[in-house]
Amino acid sequence: MKKVAALATLLALTTALAVAPKDTLVIQESADIPTMDPGVTYDTASGAITENLYETLLTYSGASLTKLEPLLATKWTISNGGKTYTFDLRKGVKFHSGNAMTCADAEYSFERNLVTNSAESGNWFISESLLGTGANANDDKTITWARIDKAVECNNAGQLVFTLPAVDPAFLAKLAYTGQSVVDSKHAAKIGEWSGKEADWKAWVGKDLTNSNLSKQPSGTGAYKFVRKDANAFLATAFDGYWGKKPAIKNIVIQKVSELAARQQAFLKGDADLIEGGGRAVDEEQIKGKPGVVWQDGFPSTSATAFFMNENIKATGLLGSGKLDGKGIPANFFKDANIRRGFSYAFNYDQYIQDVQKGKGKQRTMLLPDTFPGYDAKVNTYTFDAAKAKQFFQRAWGGQAWKNGFVLTANYRAGSVPAQTAMEILKKNIEALNPKFRVNIQAKQWSEMLASSKKGEEAMIVIGWAPDYADPDNFMYTFYSSNGYYFPRSNWKDTQVDKWLEQARNTVNTAERNRLYSLVGKKAYEQAPYILMPAPVGYSFMRDSLVGAEQKNFNPMISFSYTGTYWKELSKK
């Protein structure tokens, strides 16, 4: 027994030292980091790293989504009717490799993004601004080296000059995206990345940079420098040569811990400052209110989710009889606005907020996050109203729908409890209206559903959109334009809305844009192309020793979503 006690003390002594040190931020999450190359960064796990190792020309000011402030640029001017942007770059900035940052590095970075523009990357939207197309040179043969070269150049004064083919009100917001960070061109060329010259540009078109040499050996201007990444952890340390204020936390460790229970124990013991949680229901039960834990709630959500009602269903398998005879639906079932309105009135929004979002949910007026510019809170919303739903169904299809009934088959993403619950709520309410109404719901694999919905083969699905950059066009055009990304899934076309959306993306006048988006919102309420899902309310939790992560500086566009800040803004007490 003595021996056991001695062993126990020895073990206890050595592990007492293991608690997260003050100069080190310890994060535990389940997944690995896909890439550290900004040129292909298009997910938050990678973004959370690249945004701290690298820097963009400008960034969001605090928690604001509309105000941008200089980062690697010091100031910028817009000329030529909004088609030319000239940036003054910060002097005395060093890369982690020791190289000095010059305009040539910035030029190289943007040209590299335009040249590679791989399917995995988010470079399609910078390409849309600078080349007028989201495609790369393999898919669009009109893209030449001359066009890429001309789009972004350094002038004799060492300023960076962008020349756009057309006005783009979202251009500055796009530059704030971490994928548009400035990379170290000399270092990159030395380790075997694109040379930056015309000679080998063709070979790099469409190339997937996920496992590039630059991803393995990053060199940016950010406040943190990459140390090592192995199967256990990612390590970074404060960069001594950083041009800005020296960060308070010296070391960053992101440990890979797949098991939630193990992460929770480490967090509650104080061995980890931040962990990936298990969803609101789990975290409220097992984390909230425990000693040493700070819980923050009420964060705005920046995604938008909706029921899609496809007005031209291309898969016959889901249509039953294919006619309005009570045994199926015609392919254009949702073409009648009264059907869509009926469905919109039949969804119980409050019940969804209670059941799925634990009372923390918010109904929006349009498919645009309420924190985004262009959002109009005054547009009407649908409420659950069986009587009104009945009225609209009775009017639909000249009364045939009500008289004969229908059988609708809807798929939801397998494993998605919110989508399943939403479908079940809708099914119950619709079937309660008329015994001849039937809604069948079934689970389907996500990847299959993405493919079939893209081909317009799904009748009704629940999907959402998360922003690439903080501009309303990224949502409004995606959902409501007949040229938008989601059009094949909804097949809802309104020429007036199309016109407004084109106008809004071609003017920099904010008041005018707001007016146009408000018009779209009103028209969309009236036409009801989507059933808008209530938006979730975000939360975060951390150890109480962590300082600097507060609601007032939480920016949802920052990929490091535990605190919504850059690492350099944090400290520990």
Partner 1 sequence: MLNFIVKRLIQIPVVMLVLSLMIVGLTQLLTPEQRAAPYIRSEQQAARLEQIIEQRGLRDPFPVQYGRWLNSTLHGDLGYSKASNQDVIATIKERLPRTIELTILTAIPILLISVWLGTLSALHKDKFIDQFLRVLVVLGYSLPSFVVGILLLAVFYAYLGWLPGSGQLNVVNTFALGDVRTYTGLLTVDAALNGRWDIAWDALQHMILPALTLVIVLSANIIKVMRNNMLEALTSDYVRTARAKGLAPGVVNRKHARRNALLSIVTLGGFLIIGLLGGSLITETIFAFPGVGQWVVDAARGVDLAAVLGFAMLTAVIVVVVSTVVDILYGVIDPRVRFD
Residue 531, φ and ψ in degrees, nearest 5: -95, 120
266 belongs to the binding site for partner 1 (CB under 8 A): yes
Judged by CB under 8 A, which of 143, 253, 504, 558 binds partner 1? 253
Among 307, 352, 393, 465, binds partner 1 (CB under 8 A): 465
Interface stretch with partner 1, choices 57-65, 247-255, 314-322, 326-334 (CB under 8 A): 247-255
State the binding string over 217-246 for partner 1 (x if CB under 8 A, else -).
----------xx-xxxx-x-x---------
Using CB under 8 A as the binding rule, the residues of this chain from 27 to 56 that contact partner 1 are: 32-35, 42-45
* 545 near partner 1, rule: CB under 8 A: no
Amino acid at 239: F
Rounded to a whole number of angstroms, the CA Rg of the chain reads 26
With beta carbons less than 8 A apart as the criterion, state whether 547 and 573 touch: yes
Q: Which is nearer to partner 1, 304 or 407 (CB)?
A: 304
CA-to-CA distance for 123 and 174, rounded, in angstroms? 10
Out of 64, 83, 104, 120, name the contact with partner 1 by CB under 8 A: 120
195 binds partner 1 (CB under 8 A): no
Closest CB to partner 1 among 154 and 557?
A: 557
Q: How far apart are CA 187 and CA 97, in angstroms?
A: 7
- Rule CB under 8 A: say whether 208 interacts with partner 1: yes
Which one, 191 or 508, has the nearer CB to partner 1?
A: 191
* Binds partner 1 by CB under 8 A, chosen from 448, 512, 544, 550: 448
Residue 2 φ/ψ region, left for φ over 0, alpha for ψ in the -120 to 50 degree band, beta for the rest:
alpha
Identify which of residues 208 and 370 has a Cβ nearer to partner 1 in the complex.
208
State in angstroms the smallest separation of the CB of 339 from partner 1. Answer: 27
Footprint on residues 131-150 left by partner 1 (CB under 8 A): 139
- Tokens 């090592």, residue located: 228
- Give whichever of 103 and 236 is closer to partner 1, judged by the CB atom: 236
What is the distance between the alpha carbons of residues 128 and 193, in angstroms, rounded to a whole number? Answer: 24
Residue number with CB closer to partner 1 (263 or 341): 263
Q: Which of 258, 496, 509, 510 binds partner 1 (CB under 8 A)?
A: 258
Bridge partners, residue 161, by sequence: 86, 153
Tell which one of 90, 94, 147, 256 touches partner 1 (CB under 8 A). 256
Torsion of CA 219, 97, 243, 156, to 10 degrees: -90
By CB under 8 A, residue 292 contacts partner 1 = no
CB of 103 to partner 1, least distance (A): 30
Backbone angles phi, psi at 74, to 5 degrees: -105, -35
Which distant-in-sequence residues (6+ apart) come within 8 Å of 521 by Cβ?
365, 366, 368, 376, 379
Return the residue matching tokens 């007490």.
573
Three-state SS letters, 1-40: CHHHHHHHHHHHHHHHCCCCCCCEEEEEECCCCCCCCHHH
CB nearer to partner 1: give 216 or 358: 216
Only one of the segments 13-21, 348-356, 360-368, 373-381 lies at the binding site for partner 1 (rule: CB under 8 A); that segment is 13-21
Applying CB under 8 A, the span of 9-17, 141-149, 372-380, 535-543 interacting with partner 1 comes to 9-17
Span from 276-284, 367-375, 444-452, 525-533 in contact with partner 1 (CB under 8 A): 444-452
354 part of the interface to partner 1, by CB under 8 A:
no
Where does residue 130 rank: exposed (0-12), middle (13-18), buried (19+ CB within 10 A)? buried
How far is it, in rounded angstroms, from Cα 153 to Cα 373?
31
Please state at what angle helix 337-346 crosses helix 386-395, rounded to 10 degrees.
160
Among 37, 111, 271, 457, binds partner 1 (CB under 8 A): 271
Stretch of residues binding partner 1 (CB under 8 A), selected from 26-34, 81-89, 192-200, 310-318: 26-34
Nearest distance, CB of residue 110 and partner 1, angstroms: 19
Burial degree of 285 (CB within 10 A; 0-12, 13-18, 19+): exposed
Cβ neighbour number for residue 316 with a 10 Å cutoff = 11
Which of 61, 163, 265, 391 binds partner 1 (CB under 8 A)? It is: 265
Question: Are the C-beta atoms of residues 211 and 122 closer than 8 Å to each other?
Answer: no
Count of residues binding partner 1 (CB under 8 A)?
66
- Rounded least distance, CB 301 to partner 1, Å: 14
Among 144, 89, 169, which residue's Cα sits nearest to residue 508? 169
Nearest Cα residue to 298 out of 550, 47, 547: 550
Q: What is the residue whose two structure tokens read 């995206």?
A: 177
Give the binding site for partner 1 (CB under 8 A).
8, 11-12, 14-18, 20-21, 24, 26, 32-35, 42-45, 118-120, 122, 124, 139, 206, 208, 210-211, 227-228, 230-233, 235, 237, 251, 253, 255-259, 261-263, 265-266, 268-269, 271, 445-448, 450-451, 454, 463-466, 468, 485
